[in-house]
Amino acid sequence: MKLKVRRPVIRVPGFRFAGVACGIKQSGRRDVALIVSDVPATAVGVFTTNRVQAAPVRIGRERLRGGRVQVIVVNSGNANAFTGRAGLAAARSMTAVAARALGIDVRLVVPSSTGRIGVQLPREKLGRGILDAVAALAPGGFQSALDGIMTTDAFAKFGVDRVRLGRRDTTIAVLAKGAGMIAPNMATLLVYVLTDAAVTRPALRSALRAALPGSLNAIVVDGDMSTNDTVLVLANGVADNPPLTTSSRGYPAFAAAMAALLRRVARLVVKDGEGATRLVDIVVRGARTAREATRVADTIARSPLCKSAFCGGDPYAGRVVCAAGYSGARFDPDRIDVFLDDVPIVRRGIEVVGANERRANRVAARPEFTLTLDLHAGRATALRMASDLTVDYVRFNSDYRT
Amino acid sequence: MKLKVRRPVIRVPGFRFAGVACGIKQSGRRDVALIVSDVPATAVGVFTTNRVQAAPVRIGRERLRGGRVQVIVVNSGNANAFTGRAGLAAARSMTAVAARALGIDVRLVVPSSTGRIGVQLPREKLGRGILDAVAALAPGGFQSALDGIMTTDAFAKFGVDRVRLGRRDTTIAVLAKGAGMIAPNMATLLVYVLTDAAVTRPALRSALRAALPGSLNAIVVDGDMSTNDTVLVLANGVADNPPLTTSSRGYPAFAAAMAALLRRVARLVVKDGEGATRLVDIVVRGARTAREATRVADTIARSPLCKSAFCGGDPYAGRVVCAAGYSGARFDPDRIDVFLDDVPIVRRGIEVVGANERRANRVAARPEFTLTLDLHAGRATALRMASDLTVDYVRFNSDYRT
């Protein structure tokens, strides 16, 4: 679905941004983004768990070990994945160009790339683009940088919040991109969380870990896991609050703000799922174990039959129960209940759509609704946020070569 | 793809067949099939492993324990799945009606149902249909029975072969249906293998077990596993050959004929995959374990991105390697080779489509081709036969309510 999202000017104290076009995208759109902190920022991150990892992910992992990051340099239009040694050299080179132009230690620069797989980066073009981006850096450049990280995204994904920490107002903002190759445990996502708060690394890591299960790790568009997924969190401390730890009074508010922002962009990614017309929250309750709850939610979220039915706006109880049945979870099919929002469509294993047809149809036709399964087999729960599978998804992905 | 398949008259000595319409299908097409052996036949079978099992599957399992089957009674248009106790009663009732009309012990009657899930069978209609089918039974009714088991199938799936056993010519034939909900380890398949050969139950079971991995257990349309999958093998012995055991001289020929027939119908099911335009044989070599080989083949066969690319006729090396990467198999991405038929598209982890573009494009545009991955990590192999994902699949499944 195409969402009209107003794009306000967002500033995060101590950060400058730029987004420029260097010609990697044939469309001529912005394909280079630069995010620079005035001072080295405390940093944590998570990356794709795909065995095939893009060159910038491999370099980014190394750089992040130092715990401090000052520059994020991104290109879109080319993922620099599956490009061998030349790809690693290209990823290092993009950080070196940025470091030199900015006069910043290259070990504080993290690269990201997103776009087509299996094509070498055009190093010269990109080098010129990075220099242009350095020249364009500005505190108000947030939205330009956001343009520079987008690929097949139909709209920009971002958010901002303010948190009061030790008598200081601090800002926390997120820039994200992603639409296809969205599987649980990340996705083709680039997500950058930036704050001017001073936060210790353990507190930053703890807040990120707490936020992921209900946000970026719960989303499914097509179940394909990317080679390039990257989430980085940078806290530059220029707000000058007493450094936040997990036992600080302000920590819960800070962690809640980060979780809400990540949840917001996660939902936006699903809404922008390639070809998507609906966002379905799949809630599984009453499973024997958390693992089984997740398997049921995941199986439904990935099932082409269920996803096609979501698209059709039809209360498809049979397909949902069938998918739960082959998920591997242990439950008694004669006890399962299923709801669309609050409308029962299965009670104790019997389809009851008939009795509630009008209400069920009304829910299934909504752009967002919740599908709840209660297995009555235990106490574990799981959540997945899934898009539907549409004709446009297939049309798009049978034309676009990654 | 729509295949023109000539439908010859097929006879299996000692078997009679019928297919009639009783009004379950709104189209008015045949929706009842009856297969009757003149004498009780030695029987083996396999059923869906979905935890949610249709009523006829539950009854069929029970009946098969006796080791002998004389009648298969099938309805299409309604799966009698997810229908609770009333569904079990309806499945028993359909066998009782057939048994009474034929004067055959009900314990020798196995029911099957296929079609919509979650709707009670119209017992009276179906009862009348079964009586009509009994009246229509004929040795030449094979193709009518085949019509009676089809649902969304675009064409009939069947095969026949002859095997010389101990100076007797024996016949082995297969009737099958299936197009959607096709996952490895069966599918929404009803498959009936019939022979007039005399075969011991262990030999029949052994031949079936040997045939499945390369046929019905290797196919993927959408990865959704049905609640109704059933494969039955009946050997009625009227050919009067010395009963075949696994050590008989004729056993290898008999087992090979069964494997070839099941492989044939498995391929036809994939070709008839809802909306399918291509059949891709996915071969994984050089995996560390059979399980990992299967995971790689399976992940590619189910990946909406890979399947959309198959549809596009594009040499999508990146997506294939990416899917292998998140499959969970252990391999070194810098050693992987990928081929389309005999055209290399990845060599030691580097995309080489460029160098072979015209040849690779030509293969990818074929209606059938082989995608081979060599992981160079061990000696295990796996095969999946997959359809592509098309606009028509989604169109169809967002309209059709199961």
Q: Which residue of A has its CA nearest to B87?
A: A350
Predicted pLDDT of residue B5: 54
CB contact under 8 A, B222 and A304: yes
Q: d(Cα A330, Cα B85) in Å, to the nearest integer?
A: 20
Side chain identity at residue A34, one-letter code: L
Counting one residue from chain A and one from chain B, the pairs whose CB atoms sit within 8 A come to 213
Q: d(Cα B253, Cα B234) in Å, to the nearest integer?
A: 17
CB contact under 8 A, B391 and A395: yes
Minimum-distance CB partner of B52 among A49, A308, A321 = A321
- Residue range A337-374, pLDDT digits in tens: 999 999 999 999 888 877 888 999 999 999 999 999 99
Q: d(Cα B178, Cα B53) in Å, to the nearest integer?
A: 17
Burial (Cβ within 10 Å: 0-12, 13-18, ≥19) of residue A167: exposed
B104 token code pair:
């055959």
Per CB-CB distance under 8 Å, the chain B contacts of A323 are 224
Helices (H) and strands (E) in chain B, counts: 11, 15
- CA quadruple B319, B324, B328, B334: dihedral, nearest 10: -110
Candidates A82, A375, A391: best to mutate against B (most CBs of B within 10 A) is A82
- Least Cα distance to A337 among A369, A300, A310, A375 occurs for A375
Please report which confidence band the pLDDT of residue A29 belongs to, taking 50, 70 and 90 as the band edges: very high
Q: Are A46 and A172 part of one and the same domain? A: yes
Q: d(Cα A357, Cα A362) in Å, to the nearest integer?
A: 8
Catalytic annotation on B188? yes
Q: Is residue B1 part of a domain?
A: no
Contact, B68 vs B110, CB < 8 A? no
Q: Is residue B241 part of a domain?
A: yes
- Count other Cβ atoms within 10 Å, centred on residue A367: 14
Per CB-CB distance under 8 Å, the chain A contacts of B308 are 393-394, 396-398
Predicted pLDDT of residue B249: 95
Contact, B243 vs B167, CB < 8 A? no
- CA quadruple B66, B72, B76, B78: dihedral, nearest 10: -30
Contact, B245 vs B251, CB < 8 A? yes
Which residues make beta-bridge pairs with B347?
A: B350
Contact, B207 vs B258, CB < 8 A? yes
For every residue of B266-325, DSSP letters joined together read HHHHHHTSTT---EEEEEEEEESSHHHHHHHHHHHHH-HHHHHHHHHT---HHHHHHHHH
Please report which confidence band the pLDDT of residue A388 belongs to, taking 50, 70 and 90 as the band edges: confident
CB contact under 8 A, B394 and A397: no
Q: Are A119 and A230 part of one and the same domain? A: yes
Q: Which residue of A has its CA nearest to B227?
A: A322
Q: Are B333 and B184 part of one and the same domain? A: no
Question: In chain A, what percentage of residues exceed pLDDT 70?
Answer: 94
Per CB-CB distance under 8 Å, the chain A contacts of B296 are none
Q: How many domains does chain A have?
A: 2
Q: Are A226 and A302 part of one and the same domain? A: no
Predicted pLDDT of residue A105: 98
Q: Is residue A148 part of a domain?
A: yes
Contacts of residue A111, Cβ cutoff 8 Å, sequence gap at least 6 = A56, A59, A60, A72, A73, A74, A91, A92, A94, A95
Per CB-CB distance under 8 Å, the chain B contacts of A395 are 391
Q: Are B258 and B127 part of one and the same domain? A: yes
Q: Are A370 and A393 part of one and the same domain? A: yes
Q: Are B173 and B261 part of one and the same domain? A: yes
| ipTM (interface predicted TM) | 0.72
Residue at a domain's end among B252, B271, B290: B271
Q: Is residue A170 part of a domain?
A: yes
Q: d(Cα A138, Cα A269) in Å, to the nearest integer?
A: 27
Please report which confidence band the pLDDT of residue A2 belongs to, taking 50, 70 and 90 as the band edges: very low
Q: d(Cα B337, Cα B346) in Å, to the nearest integer?
A: 5
Q: How far is B321 from chain A (nearest CA, A)?
A: 7
In three-state secondary structure terms, B15 is strand
Instruction: Please state the φ and ψ torsions of residue A19, each to the nearest 5 degrees.
Output: -145, 125
Cα–Cα distance list, B161 to B7, B11, B170, B236, B256 (Å): 15, 11, 9, 16, 10
Q: d(Cα A297, Cα A384) in Å, to the nearest integer?
A: 6
- Least Cα distance to B156 among B63, B249, B56, B76 occurs for B76
Q: How far is B222 from chain A (nearest CA, A)?
A: 6
Predicted pLDDT of residue B154: 84
Please report which confidence band the pLDDT of residue A186 belongs to, taking 50, 70 and 90 as the band edges: very low
Predicted pLDDT of residue B184: 43
Q: Is residue A387 part of a domain?
A: yes
Q: Are B96 and B126 part of one and the same domain? A: yes
pLDDT at A184 over 50: no
Per CB-CB distance under 8 Å, the chain A contacts of B333 are 51-53, 82
B55 token code pair:
């009523």
Q: d(Cα B349, Cα B321) in Å, to the nearest integer?
A: 8
**A393 or B147: whose pLDDT is higher?**
B147
Predicted pLDDT of residue A316: 77
Residue at a domain's end among A241, A269, A297: A269
- Least Cα distance to B233 among B268, B200, B187 occurs for B200
Predicted pLDDT of residue B340: 94
- Least Cα distance to B312 among A397, A392, A402 occurs for A397
CATH assignment of the domain containing B307 = 3.10.20.340
- Count other Cβ atoms within 10 Å, centred on residue B400: 18
Q: How far is A321 from chain B (nearest CA, A)?
A: 7
Contacts of residue A348, Cβ cutoff 8 Å, sequence gap at least 6 = A334, A335, A336, A337
Handedness of CA B335, A184, A254, A176 (dihedral sign): positive
- Below-50 pLDDT ranges, chain B: 1-2, 183-187, 400-402
CB contact under 8 A, A51 and B326: yes
Q: Are strands A190-195 and A168-177 parallel, antiparallel or unpaired?
A: antiparallel
In 3-state terms chain A splits into helix, strand, coil percentages (rounded to 5) of 35, 30, 35
**A148 or A178: whose pLDDT is higher?**
A148
In B309-400, the DSSP E strands lie at 337-340, 343-347, 350-351, 368-374, 380-387
Minimum-distance CB partner of B227 among A308, A322, A401 = A322
Q: Are B283 and B264 part of one and the same domain? A: no
CA of residue A96 relative to chain centroid, distance: 27
Residue B276 sits at the vertex; the CA angle it makes with B272 and B277, to the nearest 5 degrees, is: 110
Question: What is the H or E stretch that residue A298 is in?
Answer: helix A290-302
- Residue range A9-23, pLDDT digits in tens: 999 999 999 999 999
Q: Are B295 and B232 part of one and the same domain? A: no
Q: What pTM was estimated for this model as a whole?
A: 0.80
CB contact under 8 A, A398 and B311: yes
Q: d(Cα B207, Cα B158) in Å, to the nearest integer?
A: 18
Catalytic, out of A114, A188, A195, A390: A188
Q: Which residue of B has its CA nearest to A274?
A: B305
Catalytic, out of B188, B195, B277, B294: B188
Q: Is residue A320 part of a domain?
A: yes
Q: Is residue A184 part of a domain?
A: yes
- Residue range B34-84, pLDDT digits in tens: 999 999 999 999 988 787 888 999 999 999 999 999 999 999 999 998 888
Predicted pLDDT of residue B178: 86
Please report which confidence band the pLDDT of residue A330 belongs to, taking 50, 70 and 90 as the band edges: very high
Question: What is the H or E stretch that residue A124 is in?
Answer: helix A123-136
Q: Are B210 and B293 part of one and the same domain? A: no
Helices (H) and strands (E) in chain A, counts: 11, 15
Candidates A185, A220, A224: best to mutate against B (most CBs of B within 10 A) is A224
Minimum-distance CB partner of A402 among B227, B319, B331 = B319
Which residues make beta-bridge pairs with A3?
A: none
Which residues make beta-bridge pairs with A177?
A: A190
Residue at a domain's end among A269, A293, A319: A269
Per CB-CB distance under 8 Å, the chain B contacts of A303 are 222-224
Minimum-distance CB partner of A303 among B82, B224, B326 = B224
- Residue range A190-226, pLDDT digits in tens: 999 999 999 999 999 999 999 998 888 888 766 566 7
Predicted pLDDT of residue A221: 65
Q: Are A101 and A244 part of one and the same domain? A: yes
Candidates B49, B337, B394, B402: best to mutate against A (most CBs of A within 10 A) is B394
Contact, B61 vs B155, CB < 8 A? no
Q: In what order do the strands lie in the sheet with B337-340?
A: B219-220, B380-387, B279-287, B368-374, B337-340, B343-347, B350-351
Q: Is residue B394 part of a domain?
A: yes
Please report which confidence band the pLDDT of residue A182 belongs to, taking 50, 70 and 90 as the band edges: low
CB contact under 8 A, B316 and A351: no
Angle between helices A201-211 and A251-271 (to 10 degrees): 40
Q: Which domain holds residue A93?
A: 15-269
